[in-house]
């Protein structure tokens, strides 16, 4: 069984499991809402709602 860590889903407040080797900047899906969450810190593991990608049209 793979090692996991837990973090709080910022949208629902629920604890969610993440792979133990998750990295800052990684995008994970919320199991409760399906929203994309970004790992912003590892100690402690902190998640924030991932920003919407904006097209820059080559700027």
Q: What confidence tens digit (pLDDT) does each residue in 5-23 have?
A: 999 999 999 999 999 999 9
Instruction: Give all strands (DSSP E) within 1-59, no chain letters.
Output: 4-8, 15-19, 27-29, 36-42, 45-49
**pLDDT tens digits, residue range 45-55?**
999 999 887 66
| Mean per-residue pLDDT, 11-40 | 95
CATH of 4-49, one of 2.20.28.160, 3.50.50.60, 1.10.10.10, 3.20.20.70: 2.20.28.160
pLDDT at 9: 96
Provide the CB-side half-sphere exposure for 44 (13 A, CA). Answer: 7
- List Cβ neighbours of 8 (8 Å cut-off, separation of 6 or more): 14, 15, 16, 47
């Amino acid at each position: 069984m793979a090692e996991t860590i837990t973090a709080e889903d910022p949208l629902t407040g629920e604890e969610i499991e993440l792979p133990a080797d998750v990295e800052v900047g990684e995008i994970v899906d919320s199991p409760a809402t399906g929203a994309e969450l970004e790992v912003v810190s590892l100690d402690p593991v902190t998640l924030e709602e991932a920003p919407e990608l904006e097209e820059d049209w080559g700027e």
